[in-house]
A and B are shown apart, each in its own frame.
Chain A
Amino acid sequence: MQHEEAREIIKEILNDIKFEGHFDKCFDNLKESQQKELIKWVKECKDHKISLIQSKKDRNLIGFVKKFGSNLRTILTKEKEGYFLVLFLDKHKYYEFEMLKLGF
């Protein structure tokens, strides 16, 4: 699957979501099984089936995190009582900077 198609599917699940990090490049580098796993995980986040973490900087911000292999990481952020905000996908180094920035 190419990232364009994945973006469409994810937008259908989460509505108005932003994509950040090197989403396109990293998504294309995932194995097909990992791409499916990512989309399934997004659905499960929406259905409250995935454990969440809360930001220490902004108490209205919650997040879901997932690892793919040893290098790729994803963060899905959501307003506590509102909408999903951003799906971030990138290498672990940039994930760590992002996590610090978000207060997770």
Chain B
Amino acid sequence: MENLITLDMVNKNESSLERIFTSLQLNILKKRLQKKELDANERTYYYKYIKPKLKAMFSFFNISEINIMGREYMIDDRIAKAVEILNKIKKKHKNKRIMISGSFLFNKNYNDIDVFIFTKYEKEDYKKGKMHVNFLPENVIDSLFFSSLSEVSISNFYYIHKNEFNVELNNVLQNYELLINSILNKENYQKELRDFLLNTEYISTGVILNTKQLYNLRRKINRTRIISNTLINALILGYNKNKLNSLKKYIAGYRELLKQYKSSNLNEYIQTYEKVIEIAA
């Protein structure tokens, strides 16, 4: 809950806060907000006196169980707005796990406010004004996508962050092939590009890019050659030679298809996969 407060907010409002907190308590709160280690005494003060007071203050604004991740990436005034939206949605979708993520939190310009509701039952997504409500199955919480999404997010629930994922080679190839296909067909490919960048970064470095990092990276990548080269590097770093040899069967299949179809995407796949095999050899 203290992640709704910044050090700047405490400094600016110190004279008013002194009516609620003692100066010792304020100093401990500041130390906590600076992510400095508290000693045993300070920890006792924090949990016994400071946190309950904060909780009571927030209860006036109907704020409870708010989990803010990646606060440093967010625009300050969007946090309050997102909490307000979250509280409104909580009333409509009672007892549901709800998360707000996406460019609304960190970018001056945004198209939608992405709201994710995790539910056991399938439901139709809907749009209301700028708000885009997406219903996702609860098992998504264990996915690489969720780990990325939640790194910069505001939600009404706490979760154990999963950091290790098994990303199958076939899934990476499918993702790459759809991305190239969408680009060559001159369709909107932002979703495919986001998945592609998330997967390739994870398999090659083990790093889970957050939504802001993905947003910035997506704006820089607009050429198939860059994408294909990214895939080549990721596959070589992420999979062993034996695994990569399975690309040979796909190359053969695409060569066969090229006899019947003049599909420019197939040529791109063949060139890329041949390069992977050549470097991995």
Contact = CB atoms under 8 A, between A and B. Distances in A.
Interface of A: 48-54, 56, 59, 62, 65-67, 70, 80, 91, 93, 99, 103-104
A65 B181 CA distance: 9
Contact of A48 (B125, B178, B261, B264): B261
A99 B263 CA distance: 20
A103 B170 contact: yes
A67 B177 CA distance: 15
Contacts of A56: 170, 173-174
A51 B250 CA distance: 16
Interface residues of B, number: 25
Q: Which residue among B178, B184, B261 has the maximum number of chain A CB atoms within 10 Å of its CB? A: B261
Given A52-B257, A54-B253, A66 B174 contact: no
B174 A103 contact: yes
Nearest to A104: B174
For the complex of A and B, 7 pairs with smallest distance between CB atoms = A51-B263, A56-B170, A51-B265, A67-B187, A48-B261, A52-B263, A53-B177
B78 to A, nearest CB: 23
Contacts of B250: 54
A52 B181 CA distance: 8
B87 to A, nearest CB: 26
Give the secondary structure class of B's interface. helix
5 contacts: A52-B261, A52-B265, A53-B177, A67-B188, A104-B178
Contacts of B125: 91, 93
Contacts of B260: 48
B48 interface: no
Identify the interface centre among B173, B181, B249: most chain A CB within 10 Å of its CB. B181
Contacts of B173: 56
A65 to B, nearest CB: 7
B181 A67 contact: no
Contacts of A53: 177-178, 181, 265
A104 B265 CA distance: 14
Nearest to B170: A56
A54 B257 contact: yes
Contacts of A54: 177, 250, 253-254, 257
